[in-house]
Amino acid sequence: MRGEFRQYSLTYTLIVLNVVLYLFSAFLSGSIASMDMQVLVDMGALYGPLTVLKGEWWRLLSAMFLHGGMTHLLMNMVSLYLIGRGAELYFSKTAYLSIYLFSGLLGGLASLMVHPVSVGIGASGAIFGLFGALAGFFLAHREKIGAHTKAFMKEFTVIIAINMGIGLAIASVDVSAHIGGLAVGFLGGFFLSKSPKFTLPYVAVMVVCMAAMMAYLPGLYAQIPF
């Protein structure tokens, strides 16, 4: 058990952080099944007027560890358990954490752009980033592991199609964050699996993308009648 935790330490640590924060939000909400929306906003959920207009950009990070209810938490943590351990086998700790965080952060920015007045929470953007990272990895090494790549890409396409279908069918699911995280993760997975030397350029490009979106959003929000 100790050896398994060491092997998948990042995945298990992220799961524990999400669960601990959920329990804390449940305590403040007075319910274990469903969270009070104001409690989530106070704890750092994404909300356009506060994040963009008030400059509370830290919410991009905090929102990644908040969930709206038990079903929401369980779905995301099961997904993280399944996909995270796989990603941790193929990527270094630094690459894994970079992909996870930037997928969640840029997924959050995509959400702010598409849904300026919605409250955004959840780890799904970051988790989709890990899905994308594995797709990028298999694509980058398709010549060496051709049969495995085809099998994975088929399964990957089915999983993504199902999740996107659920997102389109349920209004509260933020597909924009999923797509943003998926794209960021795919780029990270493709390049970081080729060589560790791409880590710094990847981080630099992601930071520039974040800075550009953060500079653009206030002007966009200024045109919205809140």
Active-site hit among 25, 124, 176, 193: 124
Active-site hit among 67, 98, 176, 178: 178
Within a 10 A sphere around the Cβ of 50, how many other Cβ atoms? 15
DSSP 69: B
Rg of the chain in Å (alpha carbons): 17
Q: Identify whether 141 is a catalytic site residue.
A: no
Exposed, middle or buried: residue 54 (CB in 10 Å: 0-12, 13-18, 19+)?
exposed
Q: Identify whether 178 is a catalytic site residue.
A: yes
Residue 99 in contact with residue 185, Cβ under 8 Å? Answer: yes
Q: Which two tokens stand for residue 141?
A: 């090494």
Q: CA distances (Å), 104 to each of 64, 72, 101, in order? A: 6, 16, 5
Contacts of 41 (CB under 8 A, 6+ apart): 47, 50, 119
Strands (E), the chain: 46-47, 119-120
Give the residue numbers marked as catalytic.
124, 178
